[in-house]
Amino acid sequence: MTRDDADDRDRRAARRLRRTVPGLTVCRLCVGETLGAGDPLPGGQLARVEAIAATGAAALTLVDCLDACERGDVVVVRPSPAVRAEHGPLWFERLAGDAASASLHGWVRAGGPGRSPLPEDLAALRIEAP
- Max Cα separation, the chain? 50
Look up the CATH number of the domain holding residue 84: 3.40.30
The model's pLDDT over 16-31, given as tens digits with 9 standing for 90+, comes to 545 689 999 999 888 8
User: pLDDT tens, position by position, for the chain (130 residues)?
Assistant: 677 766 666 566 555 545 689 999 999 888 888 888 889 898 899 999 999 999 999 999 999 999 888 888 999 999 999 888 899 999 999 999 999 999 999 999 999 999 999 999 999 999 999 8
Q: What is the pLDDT of residue 85?
A: 86
User: Could you count the other beta carbons within 10 Å of the beta carbon of residue 95?
Assistant: 27
pTM: 0.83
Q: Strand order in 126-127's β-sheet?
A: 59-63, 23-27, 75-78, 90-92, 126-127
Number of compact structural domains in the chain: 1
- Residue among 52, 100, 51, 40 at smallest CA distance from 74: 100
First to last CA, the chain: 48
Domain that holds residue 48: 3-127
